[in-house]
Amino acid sequence: VLYAARRCGVGAVYKAGGAQAVAAMAYGTESIPKVDKIFGPGNRYVTAAKQMVSGRNTSIDMPAGPSEVMVMADRSALPSFVAADMLPQAEHGRDSQAMVVCDDRAFAEAVAAEVQRQAAMLSREDFVTDSLSPSRIIVFDGREQMVDFANMYAAEHLIVMMRDAWSVVDRITGSVFVGAYSPESAGDYASGTNHTLPTSGWAHSCSGVNIDSFMRKMTIQELSREGLAALAPTIIAMADAEGLQAHAEAVKVRMNETVK
């Protein structure tokens, strides 16, 4: 990260974290200057802090945290792969959540057994155990119900390991990983997508961080007298309809006088 920052011409880096770092960046301190926008994921406290300062002191990318993953799988998937994709999010923190939706009870039981087997080998098993408590493997009657539930839940990360996976992806909103060889950890570290993503259902209304997120858009307009004259009837009619006389007069005065 430091190397990339240097290559991009970043002039200052501060080592800080947690909700207190959000407050420092939003309000400014003796050592950390106030910023215009705060990006990045975090736990529930970081997310709450970002939401508290948003719109008052600085803007934020989106609510991003705690971590979530959902795996959509059918019997064409390997239970070991599905389990292996639940656990990376589970080890992020004790309040993370991993979900699996499938259409076969025997497959669900095989995934559950794999989760227990693989979790026992992890160094952060205590974190995983806590985050697996609210996690679920849900069996639906068919693909349509699986898609409907996935869109309603709107997971931060969605992994689709199903036959004809792209026909499912075309109906999904969010950050999607397609196929047996597209683990979420690739998106975190190397495949190129940003992994700061909306959680807790915010994918319904928010996008993940992308290049456009770093931009601030503005508009500039200049009208000629002829251009304003062409728009004047519309402007005046709408201003009158809303009872905003001064808006209409700002146009009328320009139509009655000419700048030399």
Catalytic positions, written as ranges? 156-157
Which stretches of the chain are DSSP H helices? 2-7, 18-27, 44-53, 79-90, 105-119, 125-132, 143-153, 165-169, 184-189, 225-241, 245-256
Which stretch of DSSP H or E encloses residue 176?
strand 175-178
Identify whether the C-beta of residue 93 lies closer than 8 Å to the C-beta of residue 64. Answer: no
Identify whether the C-beta of residue 153 lies closer than 8 Å to the C-beta of residue 172. Answer: no
The DSSP code for 54 is: B
CA distance 136 to 128: 13
Residues facing 84 on adjacent strands: none
User: Both tokens of residue 150?
Assistant: 């996935």
What number of other Cβ atoms are within 10 A of residue 178's Cβ?
Answer: 16
Q: Is the peptide bond before 66 cis (omega within 30 degrees of 0)?
A: yes
C-alpha neighbours within 13 Å on the C-beta side of residue 129: 7
